[in-house]
Protein backbone atom coordinates (compact mmCIF):
# COMPACT_ATOMS: atom_id res chain seq x y z
CA UNK A 1 0.00 0.00 0.00
CA UNK A 2 1.66 3.27 -1.12
CA UNK A 3 1.56 6.42 0.96
CA UNK A 4 -1.86 8.08 0.72
CA UNK A 5 -2.13 11.11 -1.58
CA UNK A 6 -2.00 14.38 0.25
CA UNK A 7 -4.84 16.87 -0.37
CA UNK A 8 -4.66 20.41 1.01
CA UNK A 9 -7.97 22.17 1.70
CA UNK A 10 -7.73 25.99 2.00
CA UNK A 11 -10.91 27.78 3.04
CA UNK A 12 -11.75 30.37 5.70
CA UNK A 13 -15.05 28.60 6.31
CA UNK A 14 -14.66 25.85 8.92
CA UNK A 15 -17.66 23.81 7.77
CA UNK A 16 -16.42 23.58 4.22
CA UNK A 17 -12.99 22.39 5.33
CA UNK A 18 -14.75 19.85 7.55
CA UNK A 19 -17.05 18.36 4.90
CA UNK A 20 -14.26 18.05 2.33
CA UNK A 21 -12.00 16.54 4.96
CA UNK A 22 -14.62 13.93 5.85
CA UNK A 23 -15.32 12.76 2.31
CA UNK A 24 -11.69 12.74 1.18
CA UNK A 25 -10.56 10.85 4.24
CA UNK A 26 -13.24 8.29 3.46
CA UNK A 27 -11.70 7.94 0.00
CA UNK A 28 -8.34 7.26 1.59
CA UNK A 29 -6.64 10.61 1.17
CA UNK A 30 -4.52 12.35 3.70
CA UNK A 31 -6.17 15.74 4.26
CA UNK A 32 -4.39 18.90 5.42
CA UNK A 33 -6.40 22.08 6.09
CA UNK A 34 -5.48 25.75 6.01
CA UNK A 35 -7.64 28.74 7.07
CA UNK A 36 -6.27 31.29 4.64
CA UNK A 37 -3.98 31.83 1.68
CA UNK A 38 -0.95 32.48 3.79
CA UNK A 39 -1.31 29.22 5.70
CA UNK A 40 -2.07 27.44 2.45
CA UNK A 41 1.10 28.76 0.78
CA UNK A 42 3.15 27.63 3.72
CA UNK A 43 1.57 24.15 3.60
CA UNK A 44 2.13 23.82 -0.19
CA UNK A 45 5.80 24.66 0.25
CA UNK A 46 6.45 22.49 3.27
CA UNK A 47 4.05 19.56 2.87
CA UNK A 48 4.04 19.25 -0.95
CA UNK A 49 0.40 18.18 -1.40
CA UNK A 50 -0.72 16.20 -4.47
CA UNK A 51 -3.86 18.27 -4.81
CA UNK A 52 -4.98 21.65 -3.52
CA UNK A 53 -8.59 22.71 -3.05
CA UNK A 54 -8.79 26.47 -2.52
CA UNK A 55 -11.37 29.17 -2.02
CA UNK A 56 -10.81 32.58 -3.71
CA UNK A 57 -12.13 35.08 -1.17
CA UNK A 58 -9.99 34.61 1.89
CA UNK A 59 -8.25 36.84 4.39
CA UNK A 60 -4.53 37.58 4.27
CA UNK A 61 -3.78 36.00 0.86
CA UNK A 62 -6.58 35.32 -1.59
CA UNK A 63 -6.89 32.27 -3.85
CA UNK A 64 -5.87 34.08 -7.02
CA UNK A 65 -2.63 35.41 -5.58
CA UNK A 66 -1.88 32.03 -4.04
CA UNK A 67 -2.39 30.19 -7.34
CA UNK A 68 -0.21 32.63 -9.21
CA UNK A 69 2.51 32.21 -6.62
CA UNK A 70 2.50 28.39 -6.67
CA UNK A 71 1.94 27.94 -10.42
CA UNK A 72 5.70 28.02 -11.20
CA UNK A 73 6.20 25.18 -8.69
CA UNK A 74 4.16 22.92 -10.99
CA UNK A 75 7.06 22.96 -13.48
CA UNK A 76 9.01 20.80 -11.10
CA UNK A 77 6.24 18.85 -9.40
CA UNK A 78 2.77 18.80 -10.86
CA UNK A 79 -0.27 18.85 -8.62
CA UNK A 80 -3.97 19.50 -9.13
CA UNK A 81 -5.56 22.77 -8.05
CA UNK A 82 -9.32 22.99 -7.62
CA UNK A 83 -10.59 26.53 -7.31
CA UNK A 84 -13.88 26.69 -5.47
CA UNK A 85 -15.74 29.91 -5.20
CA UNK A 86 -19.22 31.28 -4.92
CA UNK A 87 -18.87 33.58 -7.85
CA UNK A 88 -16.93 33.73 -11.06
CA UNK A 89 -16.48 36.46 -13.56
CA UNK A 90 -15.02 36.22 -17.07
CA UNK A 91 -11.87 37.83 -15.73
CA UNK A 92 -11.52 35.10 -13.14
CA UNK A 93 -12.11 32.38 -15.71
CA UNK A 94 -9.28 33.90 -17.72
CA UNK A 95 -6.68 33.71 -15.01
CA UNK A 96 -7.82 30.23 -14.02
CA UNK A 97 -7.34 29.11 -17.64
CA UNK A 98 -3.81 30.44 -17.48
CA UNK A 99 -2.84 28.13 -14.63
CA UNK A 100 -1.46 24.61 -15.06
CA UNK A 101 -3.57 21.68 -13.87
CA UNK A 102 -6.23 23.95 -12.45
CA UNK A 103 -9.96 23.40 -12.56
CA UNK A 104 -12.85 25.45 -11.28
CA UNK A 105 -15.80 24.27 -9.22
CA UNK A 106 -18.65 26.56 -8.23
CA UNK A 107 -20.09 26.82 -4.76
CA UNK A 108 -22.54 25.48 -3.57
CA UNK A 109 -20.71 22.33 -4.55
CA UNK A 110 -21.27 18.63 -4.33
CA UNK A 111 -18.69 16.94 -2.06
CA UNK A 112 -19.27 13.74 -3.97
CA UNK A 113 -18.45 15.32 -7.31
CA UNK A 114 -15.39 17.01 -5.86
CA UNK A 115 -14.13 13.69 -4.50
CA UNK A 116 -14.84 11.96 -7.83
CA UNK A 117 -12.99 14.71 -9.65
CA UNK A 118 -9.92 14.24 -7.48
CA UNK A 119 -10.10 10.47 -7.81
CA UNK A 120 -10.23 10.76 -11.58
CA UNK A 121 -7.26 13.12 -11.66
CA UNK A 122 -5.10 10.66 -9.78
CA UNK A 123 -6.35 7.72 -11.86
CA UNK A 124 -5.49 9.60 -15.10
CA UNK A 125 -2.10 10.48 -13.70
CA UNK A 126 -1.45 6.85 -12.76
CA UNK A 127 -2.45 5.62 -16.21
CA UNK A 128 -0.22 8.19 -17.94
CA UNK A 129 2.87 7.21 -16.04
Partner 1 sequence: MRLKQVSVAFAVLFLLCMALLLYFLVRSEERNRIKEVEDRGTYLVSLVSLYSIDDFKADNRHFLLKSIAEYTANTGLIYLYVHDSGGKQIMSLDSTNISESIPPEIQTRSLASQGFVRQSFRPGGSGETAHEFAKPVLEKGSRTGTVRIGLRPLPVQLFSLERVSFLSMIAFFIFAALVLFYYGVIAALKPLKDVHSSLKNAVESGAFPADAPKGGQFLPVVEELKKSLTQVKSKLGSIGEENISLASRLGVIQFEKKLQSKILDAIGQGIIVTDLQGHIHLINDSMLKLLGRKSEEVLDSPVEKVLDRDDIRPLFTEDSGRVRDSIEVTFPDASPGEVFQASSSDLLDGDRTVIARLFMIKNITSRKKSEEVQHDFIAHVAHELRTPLTNIKSYGEMLMIGEITDEEMRKEFYNTINEETNRLTGMIQNILNISKIEMGSLTPNKGLVHTDWFVDGCLTSIDAAARDKQIAIERKLPDVFPSLIADKELLKAAIINILGNAIKYTPEKGRITFSIGEVNGYVNFEVTDTGHGISPEDLPHIFEKFYRSGQNSIKEQVGSGLGLAITSEIVRLHGGEIEVHSEPGAGSQFIIRIPKEDYFIARS
Binding mask 82-101 for partner 1 (x = CB under 8 A): ----xx--------------
Q: Is 29 in the site for partner 1 (CB under 8 A)?
A: no
Q: Is 2 in the site for partner 1 (CB under 8 A)?
A: no
Q: Is 110 in the site for partner 1 (CB under 8 A)?
A: yes
Nearby residues of 51 by Cβ (< 8 Å), 6 or more positions away:
5, 6, 7, 8, 79, 80, 81, 82, 118, 121, 122
- Which segment (11-19, 40-48, 65-73, 90-98) binds partner 1 by CB under 8 A? 11-19
Give me the count of residues in the chain: 129
Binding to partner 1 (CB under 8 A): which residues in 35-64?
35, 57, 59-60
Amino acid sequence: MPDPRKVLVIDDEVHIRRVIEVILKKRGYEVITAKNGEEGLEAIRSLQPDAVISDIRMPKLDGEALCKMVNPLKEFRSFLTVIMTARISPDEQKWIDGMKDTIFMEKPFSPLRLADCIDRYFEDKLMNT
